[in-house]
Structure 1
Amino acid sequence: MSTVKSLRIALFYLLLSISALSWCTLSVFIAPLLPFRARYRFVNQTWCRFAVWLAKVLLGIRYEVKGLENIPQQPCVILAKHQSTWETFFLSALFEPLSQVLKRELLYVPFFGWAMAMLKPIAIDRSNPKAALKQLAKQGHERLEQGAWVLIFPEGTRIPNGQIGKFSRGGAALAVNAGLPVLPIAHNAGAYWPKQGWGKTAGTIQVVIGSPMHAEGTGPRAIAELNDRAFEWVAKTQRDIGALAATATAMETGSTV
C-alpha cells in the first residue's frame, strides 16, 4: 500500500471518528426535542450521508444504484447482503426512518449508543437466539406499524466478498406476519471496503435493489418459500455483478437472527 493511500485512509478514519463523536454528542442534546422522523434525519441520515461522501472524496469509493424504482411507497422489510460497514451507512441514508437490528451492547457506547437508542433500533442479545427472534417479531412489527423501514441482514454477520451466508428466516417471518413484502438488496461493497482490516480500495460499488417480494400464503411454509426466493435472487444478483463465484453455496454464519 502506497504512503499516500495509507495517509488518505488514516485521514478518513480520523475525520469519521471526530465527526461521529461531535455529531452524536450534539444529537444527545438536540434529538430529544424533535419528532421521530425529524430526529432520524438529524441523528442518522445526515451523518451517514456525510460518511458515504467522505469515503467518496478521500478514498475514491463511489457507487451506482440500480432499481430505485423498485422501492415501494409503504415501508417494508429490507433483506440486504452484508459485506462491510459501507452498506450500513448507505442504507441508513437512503431509507428513512429506518430501524435496524443491532447488537444490544452497541447502545452502551457513550454518546454513539445513546444517540442510536433514540432511533428505535431493535437491539438484540445475540447470546440468546430464541429471545432475539421473539424480540425481532414483536418490535419489528411495531416499527412497521409506526411507518419505519426495518433493515435486516439475514446472514447475521458480514460475509467477505465472493461468499454468501445462509439466510435466517426472521426477516421473512416478520414480513409475512405483517402482510408486507421483503425488499432484497445485493451489492459488492466488500470488494472496496473489506470486512477485515483498515485497507480500502478505490472503485465503484454496484448496488442492486430488487422488486418487492410478497409471500404466497401464510404460515411456516410461506415464510420458508419467501426466504428461499429472496436468497436465490440475492445470490443470482451477486453473481451477475461479479461478487459471488458461480459455484459458491451458502455458508453457515452461526447466527439465527
Structure 2
Amino acid sequence: MSTLQAIRTFLFYLLLGTSALLWCSLSFFIAPFLSFPARYRFINVYWCRFALLLTRVMLDIKVEVTGAENIPERRCVIVSNHQSTWETFFLSAYFQPLSQVLKRELLYVPFFGWAMAMLRPIAIDRDNPKGALKQVASKGDQLLKDNVWVLIFPEGTRVPFGQIGKFTRSGSALAVNAELPVLPIAHNAGKYWPKEGWAKRSGTIQVVIGAPMYAEGTGPRAIAELNDRVAAWNEQTQRELGSLPPKPVADDQIAS
C-alpha cells in the first residue's frame, strides 16, 4: 500500500470511528421515541449511507448493482456471501428495515451496542450453536411476519476473497417455514475490502441480486434442496464475477 493510500485509509477509519461514536450516542437519546421504521432509518440507514460515502470519497470504492428488479414487494430472507464489513453497511442501507444475526456480546458495547439493540437484531450466543439456531428460527419468523427483511450470511463468518464457505441451512429453513422465498445475493467486496488487515483497493464492487427462489414443498428435504440451489447460484455468480476460479472441466467432458 502506498503512503498516500495508507494516509487515506487512516483518515477513513478515523472519520468512520468518530462518526459511529457520535451517531450512536445521539441515537441513544433520540431513537427510543421513534417508530421502528423511523428508528431504523435514523440509526442505521443514515449512518450506513455516510459510511458508504466515506468509502467512495476516501477510498475510491464504488458499487454497481445488477438485478434490482428482482427484489420482491414482500420482504423475505436475504442470503448473501460474506467477505468483508462493506456488505453489512451496504445491505443495511439498501434494504430497510432489515435485521441480521450478530454476536450477543456486541449489544453490551456502550452506545454502539445499545443503539444496535434498538434495531431488533437476532443476537445469538455462538458458544451455544443449537440454541442459536432456535433463536434464528423463532425471532427470524417473527420479524418476517412483521414485514422486516432478515439477512443471513450462511457461511457464518467472513470468508477470504477467492474462497467460498459451506452454506448452512438456516436461511433456507427460515424461508421455508415462513412460506417465503430466499432472495440470493452475490458480490465481490473482498477484492477491494479484504477480510484481513486495513489495506483497501480502489475499484467498483459488483453486487448481483438474483431472482427470488422458492422451495418445492416443505420439510427438511425441501429446505436442503433450496439451500443447495441458493449455494450453487452464489458459487456460479461469484465465478462469473471473478471472485472464484473457473470450475474445473471434468476429464470426460474434455475427451468428448
What range is the shorter-chain TM-score in?
over 0.9
Aligned residue number for residue 21 of structure 1: 21
Q: Distance in 1 between matches of 2:232 and 2:247?
A: 13
1:165-203: CA deviation from partner (whole Å, max 9, x where unpaired): 000001100000000000010000000000000000000
TM-score, normalisation: structure 1: 0.96
TM-score, normalisation: structure 2: 0.96
Aligned residue number for residue 162 of structure 2: 162
The unaligned stretches of length 5 or more in structure 2 are 249-256
3-state secondary structure, aligned to 2:20: helix
Aligned residue number for residue 174 of structure 1: 174
Aligned residue number for residue 198 of structure 1: 198
3-state secondary structure, aligned to 1:159: coil
Aligned residue number for residue 126 of structure 1: 126
Cα deviation for residue 3 of structure 1 reads 1.2
Q: Distance in 1 between matches of 2:131 and 2:157?
A: 18
Q: Distance in 2 between matches of 1:75 and 1:36?
A: 16
Cα deviation for residue 245 of structure 1 reads 1.5
Cα deviation for residue 246 of structure 1 reads 2.2
Q: Distance in 2 between matches of 1:59 and 1:100?
A: 26
- Write out aligned runs for 1:40-51 (5 A): 40-51=40-51
Residue 211 (structure 1) aligned with residue 211 (structure 2): yes
3-state secondary structure, aligned to 2:186: strand
Cα deviation for residue 51 of structure 1 reads 0.4
Aligned residue number for residue 253 of structure 1: none
The unaligned stretches of length 5 or more in structure 1 are 249-257
Q: Distance in 1 between matches of 2:172 and 2:102?
A: 17
Q: Distance in 2 between matches of 1:157 and 1:115?
A: 22
Aligned residue number for residue 52 of structure 1: 52
Residue 38 (structure 1) aligned with residue 76 (structure 2): no
Cα deviation for residue 2 of structure 1 reads 1.4
Aligned residue number for residue 252 of structure 2: none
Cα deviation for residue 88 of structure 1 reads 0.3
Cα deviation for residue 247 of structure 1 reads 4.2
1:140-181: CA deviation from partner (whole Å, max 9, x where unpaired): 000001110000000000001111000000110000000000
Aligned residue number for residue 62 of structure 2: 62
